[in-house]
Amino acid sequence: MKIKLFIVCTLFPIMAAAQSFEFDMTKPQPIYNDSKGFGYDVLPAPGKSVKPFYFSVKVPDGNYKITVILGSKKRAAQTVVRAESRRLFVEDSETKKSKYQTYQFVVNKRSPRINDQEVVKIKPREKNYLNWDDKLTLEFNGKAPAVKKILIERDNVAPTIFLCGNSTVVDQNEEPWASWGQMIPRWFNENIAISNQAESGLTAGSFLSSNRLDKILSMLKRGDYVICEFGHNDQKEHQAGDGAWYNFSRNLKIFIDKVRAAGGTIIFVTPTQRRFFDETHTKILETHGDYPAAMVSVAKREGVQIIDLHSMTRTFFETLGYENSKRALVHYPANTFPGQKIALEDNTHFNPFGAYEVAKMVIMGMKKLNLPILQNLRSDFKDFDPSRPDDFKTFKWYPAILSGTVKPDGN
Dist. CA 291–CA 310, nearest whole Å = 11
How distant is the alpha carbon of residue 187 from its chain centre? Answer: 12
Cβ distance 226 to 264 under 8 Å? yes
Amino acid, single-letter form, for residue 107: V
DSSP 250: H
Dist. CA 164–CA 216, nearest whole Å = 9
With a CB cutoff of 8 Å and minimum separation 6, the contacts of 274 are 284, 287, 288, 347, 348, 411
Q: Which one is catalytic: 167, 179, 200, 206?
A: 167
| Terminal alpha carbon distance of the chain | 46
Closest to 130 (Cα-Cα) out of 41, 30, 33, 245: 41
With a CB cutoff of 8 Å and minimum separation 6, the contacts of 224 are 159, 160, 161, 162, 263, 264, 265
Closest to 350 (Cα-Cα) out of 361, 339, 366, 334: 361
Torsions phi, psi for 238 (to 5 deg)? -135, 30
Q: Which one is catalytic: 72, 229, 349, 357?
A: 349
Active site residue 345: yes
Active site residue 349: yes
Q: Which one is catalytic: 49, 98, 209, 345?
A: 345
Active site residues per annotation: 167, 345, 349
